[in-house]
Amino acid sequence: AARQLVLRHPALSFAVLEKERQLAHHQSGHNSGVIHSGIYYTPGSLKAKLCVQGAALCYEYCDRKGIPYKQCGKLIVAVEQDEIPRLKALYERGLQNNVRGLKLIGAKEIQAKEPFCRGLMALDSPYTGIVDYRQVAQSYAEDFQEAGGTILTDFEVTGMEMAKESSSGSEDGLKYPVIVRSSKGEEIYCQHIVTCAGLYSDRLSEISGCSPEPRIVPFRGDYLVLKPEKCYMVKGNIYPVPNPRFPFLGFHFTPRMDGSVWLGPNAVLAFKREGYKLFDFSATDFLDAVLYSGLWKLVLRNLSYGLNEMYRACFLSAQVKELQKFIPEVTVNDVLRGPSGVRAQALDSDGNLVDDFVFDGGSGDIGSRILHVRNAPSPAATSSLAIAEMIADEVKRRFEL
Q: In percent, how much of the chain has pLDDT > 70?
A: 97
Domain holding 160, by residue range, is 1-33+132-214+357-400
State the total domains in the chain. 2
Radius of gyration of the chain (CA): 22
Q: Which of 314, 334, 353 is the last residue of a domain?
A: 353
Q: Are residues 287 and 165 in the same domain?
A: no
Q: Are residues 270 and 307 in the same domain?
A: yes
Q: Are residues 28 and 138 in the same domain?
A: yes
> Which pLDDT score is estimated for 172?
60
Q: Are residues 197 and 276 in the same domain?
A: no
> Which pLDDT score is estimated for 307?
86
Asked if the structure places residue 111 within a domain, the reply is no
> Which pLDDT score is estimated for 56?
97
Residues 6+ apart with CB under 8 A from 182: 17, 155, 156, 157, 158
Residue 19 has pLDDT above 80, yes or no: yes
Residue 179 has pLDDT above 80, yes or no: yes
CA 128, 93, 265, 218 torsion-angle sign: positive
Q: Are residues 364 and 322 in the same domain?
A: no
Q: Are residues 165 and 292 in the same domain?
A: no
Q: Are residues 21 and 165 in the same domain?
A: yes
Asked if the structure places residue 208 within a domain, the reply is yes
Q: Are residues 146 and 210 in the same domain?
A: yes
Residue 363 has pLDDT above 80, yes or no: no
- Closest by alpha carbon to 105, among 88, 128, 127? 88
Q: What is the average per-residue pLDDT within 202-216?
A: 93
Q: Are residues 303 and 259 in the same domain?
A: yes
What is the per-residue pLDDT across 329-342, written as a single tens digit (0 to 9) for each?
Answer: 999 999 999 999 99
What is the per-residue pLDDT across 145-158, written as a single tens digit (0 to 9) for each?
Answer: 999 999 999 999 99
> Which pLDDT score is estimated for 309?
84
> Which pLDDT score is estimated for 315?
87
Residue 87 has pLDDT above 90, yes or no: yes
Asked if the structure places residue 113 within a domain, the reply is no
Find the DSSP H helices in 247-350. 283-290, 293-301, 303-314, 316-324
- Closest by alpha carbon to 50, among 370, 360, 391? 391
Domain CATH number, residue 244: 3.30.9
Asked if the structure places residue 388 within a domain, the reply is yes
Residue 75 has pLDDT above 50, yes or no: yes
> Which pLDDT score is estimated for 166?
47
What is the per-residue pLDDT across 252-301, written as a single tens digit (0 to 9) for each?
Answer: 999 999 999 999 898 899 999 999 998 999 999 999 999 999 999 999 98
Domain CATH number, residue 3: 3.50.50.60
The mean predicted confidence, pLDDT, of the chain is: 93
What is the per-residue pLDDT across 288-297, written as a single tens digit (0 to 9) for each?
Answer: 999 999 999 9
Q: Are residues 206 and 219 in the same domain?
A: no
Asked if the structure places residue 47 within a domain, the reply is no
Q: Are residues 236 and 334 in the same domain?
A: yes
Residue 248 has pLDDT above 90, yes or no: no
pLDDT band at 310 (very low <50, low <70, confident <90, very high): confident
What is the per-residue pLDDT across 312-330, written as a single tens digit (0 to 9) for each?
Answer: 888 899 999 999 999 999 9
Q: What is the average per-residue pLDDT within 332-355?
A: 94
> Which pLDDT score is estimated for 170?
56
Q: Pick the residue with more confidence: 244 or 319?
A: 319
Output the CA–CA distances (angstroms, integers) from residue 123 to 35, 103, 128, 304, in the order listed.
16, 6, 12, 28
- Closest by alpha carbon to 359, among 378, 344, 373, 345? 373
Q: What order do you get walking across the sheet with 69-70 strand by strand?
A: 34-35, 129-131, 69-70
> Is the Cβ–Cβ distance between 83 and 241 less than 8 Å?
yes
Q: Which of 337, 353, 369 is the last residue of a domain?
A: 353
Q: Are residues 173 and 243 in the same domain?
A: no
